[in-house]
């Protein structure tokens, strides 16, 4: 019995498992069992009903946009408060940066929020419950979080980790659980595709799925947590970034090894061939952009998480969110810092 249960759990968390009706039924049944075992204080069913992907799609559908209409959405990166006590003692600009940024964001016109992963320091019921409390307090529009490595039970992206809390709270339960951490939604002539690379890789199955969902005449945006390795050394910074902030960001980008390699080459080929308008990423706690093979990539990792270099160090750290104006001619980003300053990336 123990072997059977362990096998089922392995299959549920294996994104490359073979899909058959019988296998899908096993995944659904096993996930239902997992949800029942999630401990207090986190109520996964309540979270799913209010904040799950399906609930957010339904909420977004209440304010439809025409294909030729321009709309705005908000983008916010890593917001976990830090795994270690010293990170939480010296957080950027106070202890409630995520809440402050979200509150400021609500005063601006936008249709939904896309969060780029790492919204908790580690995937525990207690941390998820606290995050849901934050959303209840500061999120008044559809909110789509993708999964980051910290949102799993183990934070190291190179090690296998249980994604069951994210799946229980946010992922569609109508989709087999081995592939419901990859998803997409549509709005105003755009298709926004969100990928799970929290394990530091993209599988062959994920890349096949990505290629298929990007086969559309809609304008395409892709979001994932960890940047692909081919972007290292290619970053540029907003021209308006303060000198001290630029020094911090350049240091972080130069020394970071926080990229994924497995599947990166194939990912680049797909997003280039499919004419993706933007790729948005977090994971590295900095602000930058890059051009590669005809696609613009935007890195936004400063949504409340501790910023480089070390907590409490001198320098001007840039906690921020991004307002994205999306229309039939493409997108334009405005960076809004926690100090209320606005910046922009260079035009294409």
Residue 88 has pLDDT above 70, yes or no: no
Residue-averaged pLDDT of the chain: 85
Question: How does residue 30 score in pLDDT terms, banded at 50, 70 and 90?
Answer: low
| Domain residue ranges of the chain, discontinuous segments joined by + | 2-343
Element (H, E) at 267: helix 264-273
- Does residue 324 surpass a pLDDT of 60? yes
pLDDT at 253 over 90: no
**Cα 181 to chain center, whole Å?**
11
CATH class (in words) of the domain with range 2-343: alpha beta
Please report which confidence band the pLDDT of residue 7 belongs to, taking 50, 70 and 90 as the band edges: very low
Measured CA to CA, the distance from residue 266 to residue 268 in angstroms comes to 5
- pTM, two decimal places: 0.86
**Hey, how many other C-beta atoms are within 10 angstroms of the C-beta on 296?**
19
Judge whether 259 and 232 are in contact, CB under 8 Å: yes
Write down the residue that tokens 């902030």 correspond to.
Answer: 245
Q: Please tell me the predicted confidence (pLDDT) of residue 278.
A: 99
- Sole residue written with tokens 């001007």: 316
**Whole-number pLDDT of residue 24:** 59
How many C-beta neighbours within 10 Å does residue 20 have?
10
- Measuring CA to CA, which residue among 169, 90, 183, 172 is closest to residue 127? 169
Segment 93-106 shows an average pLDDT of 84
Please report, in angstroms and rounded to a whole number, the separation of the first and last CA atoms in the chain.
58
Q: Which pair of structure tokens corresponds to residue 164?
A: 């069951």
What residues have CB less than 8 Å from 21, skipping those under 6 apart?
A: none
Q: Is the pLDDT of residue 53 over 90?
A: yes
């Amino acid at each position: 019995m123990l072997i059977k249960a362990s096998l089922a759990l392995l299959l549920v968390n294996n994104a490359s498992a073979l899909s058959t009706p019988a296998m899908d039924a096993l995944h659904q049944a096993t996930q239902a069992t997992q949800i029942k075992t999630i401990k207090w204080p986190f109520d996964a069913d309540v979270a799913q009903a209010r904040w799950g992907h399906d609930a957010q799609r339904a909420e977004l559908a209440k304010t439809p946009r025409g294909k030729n209409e321009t709309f705005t959405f908000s983008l916010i990166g890593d917001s976990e408060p830090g795994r270690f006590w010293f990170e939480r003692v010296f957080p950027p600009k106070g202890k409630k940066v995520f809440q402050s940024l979200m509150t400021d964001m609500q005063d601006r016109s936008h249709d939904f929020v896309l969060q780029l992963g790492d919204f908790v320091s580690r995937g525990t019921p207690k941390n998820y419950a606290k995050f849901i409390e934050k959303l209840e307090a500061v999120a008044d529009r559809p909110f789509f979080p993708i999964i980051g490595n910290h949102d799993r039970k183990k934070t190291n992206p190179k090690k296998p980790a249980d994604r069951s809390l994210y799946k229980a709270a946010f992922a569609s339960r109508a989709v087999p659980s081995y592939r419901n951490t990859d998803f997409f939604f549509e709005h105003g002539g755009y298709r926004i595709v969100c990928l799970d690379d929290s394990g530091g890789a993209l599988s062959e199955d994920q890349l096949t799925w990505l290629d298929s969902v990007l086969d559309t005449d809609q304008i395409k945006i892709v979001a994932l947590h960890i940047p692909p390795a081919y972007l290292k050394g290619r970053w540029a910074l907003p021209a308006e970034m303060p000198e001290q902030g630029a020094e911090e960001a350049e240091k972080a980008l130069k020394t970071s090894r926080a990229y994924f390699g497995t599947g990166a080459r194939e990912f680049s080929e797909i997003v280039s061939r499919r004419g993706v308008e933007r790729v948005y990423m977090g994971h590295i706690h900095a602000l930058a952009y890059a051009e590669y093979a005809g696609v613009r990539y935007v890195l936004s990792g400063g949504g409340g998480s501790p910023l480089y270099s070390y907590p409490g160090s001198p320098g001007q750290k840039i906690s921020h969110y991004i307002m994205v104006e999306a229309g039939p001619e493409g997108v334009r980003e405005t960076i809004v810092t926690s100090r209320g300053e606005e910046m922009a990336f260079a035009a294409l």
